[in-house]
Chains A and B, each alone.
Chain A
C-alpha cells in the first residue's frame, strides 16, 4: 500500500510566467525590468526546454536598413488580429537588438542576413541567426535581471476568483511537493499542443516539435473561463521520414521523385509550405519524395550544415554520420507528419486575455514563430507588471478550497496501484482524434467520436495512476489533452465547411461568408460551447 503525501509550499510574487521558453523568459525579463517581482515555472529546465531548447535559426522581422520599406505582403502574415500583426512588425527589430545585446548572435559574419524559410516569389522575411544557445542566453539574462526560475514544476490549474486571476497551483515533478503560487498576474507561455494527434511516426514522443508541449496553457485557461480560438483549424508539417523534426526550411536541396526528376520548378509552394506533398505523392503511387542535395555546391552544403546545427537538427546530422552516409550523396525521404494544434488563446496586441490578470504569449496561439514569442513575451511582461502594480493579492479562502481538492486528487493518482498509465490514456485520445476528428471529418463520425471521448474522459480521474511525480506530470498532460480534444471535436462539429486541414466530407466547400469570422469555444458550466466572432 503506497502512501505518498504532497507537502504544501507557498510561493509569492507579483507575476508568474508559466513556461520558460523564449516567450516566458522574455516576459519575465521585461516584467522584472518594469519593477515586478517575477517567478518563472518551467516543467523542464529553461536552459534546454521546449521547441527552442536546442535552437532555432530564423527570426521573422523587418529591418529597414537592410530590407528597405516594409512590403505590404508582410502585413498578411500571421493568423491573429491586424492590431497584433502591426504590433509584431513594429517591435520585432527592437527584439533583434535586445537579443543581440544579451549575447545571442543575430548577425552572421558581421551583418544581418535574410535567407531561407521564405515563400517562393515573396521577399525574405526571416533573419538567419545562430540560435543554438538561445535558451541558455535568455536564462542567463533572466537571472541577471532578478527573475526567480523554478524548474521541474508542472502547473495544473490557475487560481481565479470571479474572473480575476490570483495565481496557480502545481507540483514539483521530482519531489513530493505541491506548489501554490500566489501572484497578482499570470502569463501563459506553454507553447503548442503536440501529443493530441498521432504523428505517423510510431511513438508518442517522436514529434516534430517538443513532445512535452501538450497545450497545458490552453487547457488551464479554458477551465478558468477563457475562450479558445481556431481549435478545429489544425495544421501539419513535413520533414525527414521517421525522424520527426522541424527545420524543413533549412534543408537546401530540392524535392525529387524516385526517378530523380525534380518535383515542381522550385518556384511553387512545394514541400516547405505544402506539407501534404509527400503524403499525396505516396497515395498517388508516385512516391516516395526525396530531399535531394546533390545539386548544391560544397560551400552551400557546409553553410546548410551550419544552419541545421542552429535549427536543432544535430541529431539527424549525427545519425547520417554514424551510419557512414553522406546525405549529399544519398537522397533521403521526407514525409508529412500528423496534425497538431496551432490555435488557442487569441490574445490581443497587449497580450491580454478575457480574464483580468491573465496574459498569454508565444505559441499559446501560434502565429509568428520564435520572433513572435520574443515580441509578445516582452509585451505580456510589460502588461502583467503594470497590472500587478495596481492590484492587491486576492482571496485566501478560495485558494484554500482549490488546494485541498487538488492535493487530494493528485495523491489519489499517486497512490493508486491498479489502473491506466498515462501512455494508455494518451494512446486512447490519439486514437479517437485520428479516427473521428482527423483528416476526414463528418457530422456522424464527429458525434460518435465525441461520445466515446467523453465516456473515456469521465473515467480518467477514477483510473489514472502514476508511480511517482514524473508520471503524475504525464497524467496531468493527458488530462489536458482530453480537454483540448473535446474542444476540438465541438469546434469541428460547428464549422460546417472545409477550410485548410479541416476537411468536412459532408461540407466539402469553403464558405466565403465565414472568411471574416473566427470560431471560439467557451467553457459554460463545464461544457464546451462554440460561438462565432467577427475577426478583429
Chain B
C-alpha cells in the first residue's frame, strides 16, 4: 500500500521526505533512496507523486480504498 518508489528512477533528492504531509517517510536518510516507514499513515494525497522530479513514485491504492464502480 501507499507510496511505491521506483529505485531505478529515484535520484534520492529527498523532496518527498521533505513534503509528505503525514511523514510516511520518517527515518529516511539524506542522499539515500527514501524508505516508507509508516505506509498505513499514507493519506494517498499524491503530493509526493506530483512533486517528484524523477516521476519515480506511484501510489498503490490499498484494496480497502479501491473505488466501487459498475463494470
Q: Is the CB of B9 closer than 8 A to any CB of chain A?
A: no
A54-B50, A318-B59, A331-B70 are known contacts. Are A47 and B45 too (CB-CB below 8 A)?
A: no
Beta-carbon contact of A240 and B67 below 8 Å: yes
Beta-carbon contact of A201 and B64 below 8 Å: yes
Partner of A315, one of B44, B68, B70: B44
Beta-carbon contact of A241 and B26 below 8 Å: no
A189 to chain B, nearest CB (A): 15
- When distances are taken between beta carbons in the complex, the residues of chain B under 8 Å from A468 are 26-27
Interface string of A466-507 (1 = CB under 8 A from B): 001010000000000000000000000000000000000000
A203-211, A406-414, A523-531: which one contacts chain B? A203-211
Interface string of A303-339 (1 = CB under 8 A from B): 0000000001011101110100101001111000000
A53-B21, A319-B67 are known contacts. Are A203 and B61 too (CB-CB below 8 A)?
A: no
Complex Cα–Cα for A315 and B45 (A): 6
Interface string of B1-26 (1 = CB under 8 A from A): 00000000000000000111111001
Interface string of A421-447 (1 = CB under 8 A from B): 001000000000000000000000000
Beta-carbon contact of A54 and B47 below 8 Å: yes
A288-B68, A314-B50 are known contacts. Are A470 and B38 too (CB-CB below 8 A)?
A: yes
The secondary-structure label for the interface of chain A is: loop
B39 to chain A, nearest CB (A): 10
- When distances are taken between beta carbons in the complex, the residues of chain A under 8 Å from B27 are 468, 470
The secondary-structure label for the interface of chain B is: loop
Complex Cα–Cα for A122 and B28 (A): 50
Most chain A CB within a 10 A radius of its CB, from B47, B58, B69, B71: B69
Q: Is the CB of A148 closer than 8 A to any CB of chain B?
A: no
Partner of A152, one of B23, B59, B61, B70: B23
Most chain A CB within a 10 A radius of its CB, from B21, B23, B47, B62: B21
- When distances are taken between beta carbons in the complex, the residues of chain A under 8 Å from B71 are 330
A54-B47, A243-B65 are known contacts. Are A49 and B41 too (CB-CB below 8 A)?
A: no
Partner of A203, one of B37, B64, B67: B64
Interface string of A204-242 (1 = CB under 8 A from B): 111100111000000000000000000000000000111
Q: Is the CB of A50 closer than 8 A to any CB of chain B?
A: yes
Q: How many residues of B contact A (CB 8 A)?
A: 33
Complex Cα–Cα for A240 and B69 (A): 9
- When distances are taken between beta carbons in the complex, the residues of chain A under 8 Å from B61 are 243, 315, 319, 322
- When distances are taken between beta carbons in the complex, the residues of chain B under 8 Å from A330 are 69-71
Complex Cα–Cα for A47 and B51 (A): 10
Beta-carbon contact of B21 and A320 below 8 Å: no
- When distances are taken between beta carbons in the complex, the residues of chain B under 8 Å from A394 are none
Q: Is the CB of A174 closer than 8 A to any CB of chain B?
A: yes
Beta-carbon contact of A45 and B64 below 8 Å: no
A44-B22, A49-B21 are known contacts. Are A242 and B64 too (CB-CB below 8 A)?
A: yes
Question: What 6 pairs between A and B have smallest CB-CB spacing?
Answer: A332-B69, A48-B47, A202-B64, A333-B68, A470-B26, A44-B21
Q: Which residues of B contact A (CB under 8 A)?
A: 18-23, 26-27, 37-38, 40-47, 49-51, 58-59, 61-62, 64-71
A-B contact pairs, 11 of them (CB 8 A): A44-B21, A47-B18, A50-B21, A54-B45, A152-B23, A202-B64, A205-B43, A241-B67, A312-B46, A315-B49, A318-B46
